[in-house]
Chains A and B, each alone.
Chain A
Amino acid sequence: MRDVAIVSVSQSTHQRSLDHLNEVEMIQPVIQGAFEQIDATIRDIDFVCSGSSDYLAGQAFSFVMSLDAVGAWPPMAESHVEMDGAWALYEAWLKIQSGHADTALVFAYSKASPGDLPRVLSRQLDPYYYGPLWPDSVAIAGLQARAMIDAGLTSEAAMAEIAHRNRTVALDNPHAQVKGSASIEELLAQPYLSDPLRVHDCPPISDGGVAVILAAGDKAHQWSKRPAWIRGLDHRVDSHNFGARDLTTSPSISIAADKAGVAHGKVDIAELCTPFTHQETIAVKALGLGDDCVVNPSGGPLAANPMMAAGLIRLGEVANRIMDGTADRGVAHATSGHCLQQNLIAVLEGEG
């Protein structure tokens, strides 16, 4: 296996609605930022892979247009996943592992503001049984939260604490959208949005993007004094039929964590792409994280949740803290689908 590292991370300042910019205008400065950090250009990149979803802004093939922001001339090797950019990173990592590239640019973005996101996400459901009911994504997450509460694995108060903690640390994150939190008492006094979930239990709707540069071996050393090496990378999926699985556990996170080697060392930090408060509890348990692990130092998706980018952002946030020496070893998690249906786990490590 080749040694591959994240050497540069760039994010937008995530916002509820960037209505004066199109997706190309939104992502271009983010991509340029990733290059400027390491004084590189697109000519130094062997492969480009992006993650996005046309359904969010209602623009078919919008990801093709986003290549304007890359400067894809002369024509280059490029790919796209209709998924979170974390899976685009997985594809880029495979490309490098197979020897077809030494460097890669991975980016992800979305503008969910033009549509009704909770309704759009109902298109991820079984088209025969559930899609025609048009359930919103918050009510579906509420089913999992209720299951957690009924099983005694969390409570509305514990969920409020998670919201409070994440948004408070987000005050130190210049890219975060929702920074700071009311007190837990004030949070619990709010009405339900979708009983048992309150507004604070849910992620914000965010427009934004992220770009990450991968490099193998010596190239990584050339671009970063302390690259964030990808020591493990795996993704698994649970059944799409969430009436047939236990919503309080995540076997896919546990298996991916095992295959990625999470338990092979101390985990200093973990960035979890758990957009709903009750899901952080599920992921922490499935990963076997101890009390000495700092969870979501960036504030996580509760502070900013640009769809299709939030997972790649988690990898970027862990990588940044390894590159700047704050942490030596970290875990990043990305998710896709309702109720943590599909999950990716990355283990990142710094040397020296």
Chain B
Amino acid sequence: MADGSSNELLEAPLVIEYPFMRTTGPVIGAFLTGLRDGRVLGITGADGRIVCPPVEYDPMTGAALTEMVEVGTEGVVTSWSWVTTVREGQPLQRPHALALIQLDGADTSMMHVVDAGTSDAMSTGMRVAIRWADEREGLISDIAAFVPAGAQ
């Protein structure tokens, strides 16, 4: 109960929470279905480059894209940073890398995490591979994380 002092700093916890159900459409839906099936799909861009994760419209021209292709489950780190303060909801609850990963056969990078253990184990250009989640349901978290290739 308040003590009536007008210098008192009142504070209350506030949670903004939404259950969000999002429809995926056929392109994102196909990608997530692919993850559930244990494969990764990209899409062919207007200039022929393979965009992964796939998008409905070309990032440069805006043209509607329709030709999906399978890309590899391994790839190359094109950039990374190291996360020491882990936060609620992140795929790994220990220090890890946030990285851009270009999967074999794709021409763009996907952002995800790399469970490398220490930042010394990370380098631009290193090869990483998908560690699949034990149970997959058609979400980006079907990829539990990437790991240094050969370490799955």
Contact = CB atoms under 8 A, between A and B. Distances in A.
13 contacts: A19-B9, A132-B139, A132-B140, A132-B141, A133-B90, A135-B90, A147-B78, A147-B79, A150-B124, A194-B83, A197-B81, A241-B55, A244-B109
B130 interface: no
A133 B81 contact: no
B111 interface: yes
Interface stretch (A96-104, A122-130, A155-163, A173-181): A122-130
B89 interface: yes
A114 interface: yes
A109 B60 CA distance: 33
A20 B59 contact: no
A239 interface: yes
A236 to B, nearest CB: 13
A304 B82 CA distance: 25
A134 B87 contact: yes
A193 B9 CA distance: 31
Contacts, number: 113
Which are the 5 A-B pairs with shortest beta-carbon distances?
A: A142-B81, A134-B89, A243-B109, A195-B82, A239-B59
B81 A242 contact: no
B24 interface: yes
B110 interface: yes
B103 to A, nearest CB: 10
Interface string B72-85: 00000011111111
Given A150-B79, A239-B59, A245-B59, A133 B91 contact: yes
A142 B97 CA distance: 10
Interface residues of B, number: 41
Interface of A: 19-20, 55, 58, 60, 114, 116, 118-119, 127-130, 132-136, 138-147, 150, 192-197, 239, 241-245, 247
Contacts of A239: 59-60
Contacts of B108: 241, 243-244
Contacts of A119: 87-88
Given A129-B140, A143-B80, 6 more contacts: A128-B140, A129-B110, A133-B141, A135-B98, A143-B100, A196-B81
User: In this complex, which of A20, A143, A247 has the most chain B Cβ atoms within 10 angstroms of its Cβ?
Assistant: A143
A207 to B, nearest CB: 14
A143 B87 contact: no
Contacts of A242: 100, 111
Given A128-B140, A146-B80, A146-B124, A135 B9 contact: no
B1 interface: no
A82 to B, nearest CB: 15
A133 B113 contact: yes
B28 interface: yes
Contacts of A128: 22, 24, 28, 32, 140
A111 B138 CA distance: 37
A58 B15 CA distance: 8
B151 interface: no
B71 interface: no
B112 interface: yes
Interface string B108-128: 111111000001000010000
B118 to A, nearest CB: 10
Given A114-B14, A136-B83, A150-B124, A143 B111 contact: yes
A193 B95 CA distance: 12
Nearest to B106: A243
A130 B81 contact: no
A243 B102 CA distance: 8
Nearest to B124: A150
B41 interface: no
A147 B102 CA distance: 14
A211 B81 CA distance: 36
Contacts of B109: 243-244
B79 A20 contact: no
B51 interface: yes
A245 B51 CA distance: 11
Interface in B33-89: 51, 53, 55, 59-60, 78-85, 87-89
